[in-house]
Amino acid sequence: MSTSERLKSFLERIREKHKLHFTDDTTYHDKWSFRLSVLNLWTLLGLYTVLIIVGLSLLIKYTGVRDVFIDVPPVYSVTQINSNSERIDSLMSATRSRQKYLDDLKRILLDQPFLDSMKAADDSLFVNYNAHFTKSKEDSILRIKVENDGKETAAESEFDFFTAPVRGTISKSFNTKKGHYGVDVVTENESPIKSCLDGTVIFSSWTPDDGNVIILQHSNDFISVYKHCSSLLKVLGDKVQIADPVAIVGNTGKHTSGPHLHFELWQKGIPLDPQEFINFKK
């Protein structure tokens, strides 16, 4: 038998009709029947297969069913991951800044030197020309102005903005070489201690060495420190105005020998001599 004859015989067989009957099992009556060829059956199966494939493709493309079959994060998940990464970076940056701020605050409380302030105070960094100069208040104001890139600070109008926290006699002056980053002002015991500027309380508590201590944050990165207080009148987070009482003069802590106020003035981590900006005399 030739190839053409075999092909013709095959086509005839698949086109040959067959009758499919469905009968009642009890009465043996035909319920329904239809004629069907092998070719028809293959055609129906092919059509159903195509419909199933198209339906699954639409489900996978437009619904979340694809997550069951394909382990790839959707677009919105990638966007969320990127957003979370940016937030984490921001939090890490804020945490580093906050830690730096707390480290500086710790150094102030413990009377520890700052690297920049020590460099500024080290005479070995300067050439000695055996000349004697007197540093005026104008020189100090100019130095603060240069350090702030020419921006106006409260120090430029010192007596218009700063006020003395207490009035009295200076028993120990500012001396960075000896680790004394403020001035000791002897005044009447139980006198009120006033804020030298408008600001916010960033520390108000007791320490073993300095007794009751209160620290204020001011504009232009100024920080004022008040130590050895007998009691504190403000708490963390309080807003204060210039000349507002914030504490009471006392004699608390290990590093004290009598009622007085140890007052410090800092700017950008550098201790400043308060006597250059404030008149403590009665």
Encode pLDDT of 11-36 as tens digits: 777 777 777 777 877 777 777 776 77
Helix and strand totals (H; E) in the chain = 7, 12
What does the radius of gyration of the chain's CA atoms come to, in whole angstroms?
Answer: 43
**51 and 167 in a common domain:** no
Decide if 268 is inside a domain: yes
Q: How far apart are CA 99 and CA 105, in angstroms?
A: 10
Residue 199 forms part of a structural domain: yes
In a domain, 11, yes or no: yes
Tell me the pLDDT of the chain averaged across its residues.
78
pLDDT surpassing 50 at residue 118:
no
Query: Are 42 and 157 in the same domain?
Result: no
Q: Cα separation of 138 and 276, whole Å?
A: 9
Task: Please state the rounded mean pLDDT for residues 146-169.
Answer: 61
- Domain boundary, last residue among 31, 52, 69: 69
Inside any domain, residue 14: yes
What does the alpha-carbon distance between residue 94 and residue 17 come to, in Å, rounded to a whole number?
81
Give the model confidence (pLDDT) of 234-258 as tens digits. Answer: 999 999 999 999 999 999 998 888 8
Tell which of 50, 69, 88 closes a domain: 69
Q: Is residue 76 part of a domain?
A: no
CATH of the domain at 169: 2.70.70.10
Q: How many domains does the chain have?
A: 2
> Are 64 and 177 contained in the same domain?
no
User: What whole-number distance in Å separates Cα of residue 44 and Cα of residue 40?
Assistant: 6
Tokens of residue 257, six digits: 């020998």
Domain range enclosing 10: 3-69
Write down the pTM of the prediction.
Answer: 0.51
